[in-house]
C-alpha cells in the first residue's frame, strides 16, 4: 500500500446523504493509518465513472469507492474502461457507507468503516470477476459488480426508490407491498446458459437474478454460495408466481433456502442469454436501471477482470454461514 497512489472517490449522497456526514471520520481513519490519498467528491450521476476511468493515466494504483452499490457500480465501470489489459487497471477497494452494501457482503469487505480502512491498510487483495450486461438502454454493454435482477425485484427497487421518508430495508418492504398491489404479469422468457449449450429454459418467469455476489436488497440472499472470483455467475430463476408464492419465497430469500422451492431453478455458468420476444423485461444491474421493457439480454462473466482489497478474516467467517446450502450445478435442468 505504501507504494500505491490512492484515489478516494466519495459519493456524498450515498446512504441517503449520510455519506457526506462521515467524511471527517473517513479522513481521520486514513490519517491514523498513515494512508495518503487524494479525495474526489462526486457531483452527479456518472461522475464516479469519469473519475475512475481517469485514475490509470493519472498514475493511481488503487481507487477507493466510498458509497453504496451504485457508487461501486460506477467505479467498476470506470476502471473497466480505463485499460484493455487487466494488469493496467488500478485495484479497487470499498468503504461500506451505503444503505444495503450488498456488494461488500459478497466481496468479504467489513461492515464497519474502521475495519474497511484497516483492510485497505493491510492491502490484501485477490482477483475480482466483473459481470457485463448488454441490452435495453445499453446495447453496447454495461459492467456490474454484484448482480442483475429481472422482474419482481427490479420493480420493487424502482418503487422503493420513490420513497422519500422511508429508507433501507423498510423502503424495500413498502416497495414490495406496492408491487404486490400492481403485480404485473410476468413475461414469457427463453433463457440459455453457456454451460449447457443447446439446452434452454422457456417459461413465464416472475423473477430472474444473475449474481456475481451473494445478496440483494440488503437482506435477500439470491445466490448464497456465489463467489465473485470463480469465473461464473449464479442464476436464481423463478417460474410464474402468485402473490402467496412470492411472499413465501421472499422469506426463503432471507435465509438463502429458495433452492428447495420446486418453482426455483438455480445453476452456475460463465454466460447467459435471455430473450422475451413480446417484451416486458424490467432489468437492473447493481440497482441501476437497464431497461423497463426489454426483449433481449446478453450477460457474461469477465474472470479476474480487476483486483480488490478484502479482509481474509471476514472471508473465513462468511464462508461458513451458508455451508449447508448446496452449490448450484453448472447445467440447466
Residue 135: CB partners within 8 Å, gap ≥ 6? 281, 283, 290, 291, 294, 295, 296, 297, 298
> Between the CA of residue 125 and those of 38, 41, 60, 218, 319, what are the distances in Å?
21, 25, 16, 24, 17
The 3-class secondary structure across the chain, one letter per residue, is CCCCCEEEEECCCCCCCHHHHCHHHHHHHHHHCCCCCEEEECCCCCHHHHHHHCCCCCCCCEEEEEECHHHHHHHHHHHHCCCCCHHHCCEEEEEECCCCCHHHHHCCCCCCHHHHHHHHHHCCEEEEEEEEEEECCEEEEEEECCEEEEEHHHHHHHHHHCCCCCCHHHHHHHHHHHHHHHCCCCCEEEEEECCCCCCEEEEECCEEEEECCCCECCCECCCCCCCCCCCCEEEEEECCCCHHHHHHHHHHHCCCCHHHCCCEEEEEECEEEEECCCCCEEEEECCEEEEEEECEEEEEEEEEEEEEECCHHHHHHHCCCCCCCCCCCCCCC
Query: Of 3.60.9.10, 1.10.3720.10, 2.60.200.40, 2.60.40.770, which CATH number belongs to 132-303?
Result: 2.60.200.40
CB 267, CB 195: distance < 8 Å: yes
Residue 177: CB partners within 8 Å, gap ≥ 6? none
Look up the pTM and report it.
0.92
Each domain of the chain, given as residue ranges in start order, spans 6-123, 132-303
pLDDT for 80: 97
Architecture of domain 6-123: 3-Layer(aba) Sandwich (3.40)
Alpha-carbon dihedral 139, 144, 146, 149, rounded to 10 degrees: -10
Grid cell of 315 as nine digits:
472471508
Separation of alpha carbons 46 and 64, rounded Å = 16
Per-residue pLDDT of the chain (333 residues; tens, 9 = 90+): 557 899 999 999 887 788 889 999 999 999 999 999 999 999 999 999 999 999 999 999 999 999 999 999 999 999 999 987 888 899 999 999 987 799 999 999 999 999 999 999 999 999 999 999 999 999 999 999 999 999 876 666 665 565 565 555 566 666 666 655 565 678 999 999 999 998 999 999 999 999 999 999 888 999 999 999 999 999 999 999 887 888 888 899 999 999 999 999 999 999 999 999 988 899 999 989 999 899 999 999 999 999 999 999 999 999 999 999 999 998 888
Q: Is the torsion defined by CA of 138, 66, 318, 263 positive or negative?
A: negative
CB 64, CB 93: distance < 8 Å: yes
Q: Is the torsion defined by CA of 50, 55, 56, 58 positive or negative?
A: positive
Amino acid at each position: 500500500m505504501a507504494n500505491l497512489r490512492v484515489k478516494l472517490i466519495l459519493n456524498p449522497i450515498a446512504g441517503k446523504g449520510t455519506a457526506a456526514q462521515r467524511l471527517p471520520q473517513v479522513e481521520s481513519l486514513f490519517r491514523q493509518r498513515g494512508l495518503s490519498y487524494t479525495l474526489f467528491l462526486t457531483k452527479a450521476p456518472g461522475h464516479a465513472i469519469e473519475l475512475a476511468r481517469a485514475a490509470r493515466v493519472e498514475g493511481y494504483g488503487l481507487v477507493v469507492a466510498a458509497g453504496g452499490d451504485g457508487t461501486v457500480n460506477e467505479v467498476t465501470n470506470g476502471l473497466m474502461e480505463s485499460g484493455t489489459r487487466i494488469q493496467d487497471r488500478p485495484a479497487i477497494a470499498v468503504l461500506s457507507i451505503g444503505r444495503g452494501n450488498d456488494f461488500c457482503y459478497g466481496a468479504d469487505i467489513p461492515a464497519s468503516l474502521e475495519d474497511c480502512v484497516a483492510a485497505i491498510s493491510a492491502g490484501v487483495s485477490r482477483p475480482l470477476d466483473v459481470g457485463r450486461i448488454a441490452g435495453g438502454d445499453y446495447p453496447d454493454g454495461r459492467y456490474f459488480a454484484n448482480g442483475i435482477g429481472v422482474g419482481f425485484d427490479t420493480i420493487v427497487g424502482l418503487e422503493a426508490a420513490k420513497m422519500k421518508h422511508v429508507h433501507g430495508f423498510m423502503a424495500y418492504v413498502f416497495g414490495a407491498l406496492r408491487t404486490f398491489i400492481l403485480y404485473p404479469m410476468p413475461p414469457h422468457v427463453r433463457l440459455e446458459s453457456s454451460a449447457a449449450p443447446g439446452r434452454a429454459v422457456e417459461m413465464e418467469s416472475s423473477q430472474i437474478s444473475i449474481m456475481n455476489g451473494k445478496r440483494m436488497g440488503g437482506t435477500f440472499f439470491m445466490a448464497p454460495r456465489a463467489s465473485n472470483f470463480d469465473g461464473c455467475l449464479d442464476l436464481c430463476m423463478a417460474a410464474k408466481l402468485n402473490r402467496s408464492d412470492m411472499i413465501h419465497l421472499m422469506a426463503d430469500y432471507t435465509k438463502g433456502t429458495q433452492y428447495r422451492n420446486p418453482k426455483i431453478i438455480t445453476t452456475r455458468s460463465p454466460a447467459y442469454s435471455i430473450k422475451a420476444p413480446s417484451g416486458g423485461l424490467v432489468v437492473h444491474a447493481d440497482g441501476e436501471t437497464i431497461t423497463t421493457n426489454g426483449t433481449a439480454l446478453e450477460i457474461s462473466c469477465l474472470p479476474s477482470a480487476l483486483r480488490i482489497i478484502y479482509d481474509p478474516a471476514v472471508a473465513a467467517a462468511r464462508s461458513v454461514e451458508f455451508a449447508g446450502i448446496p452449490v448450484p450445478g453448472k447445467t440447466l435442468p
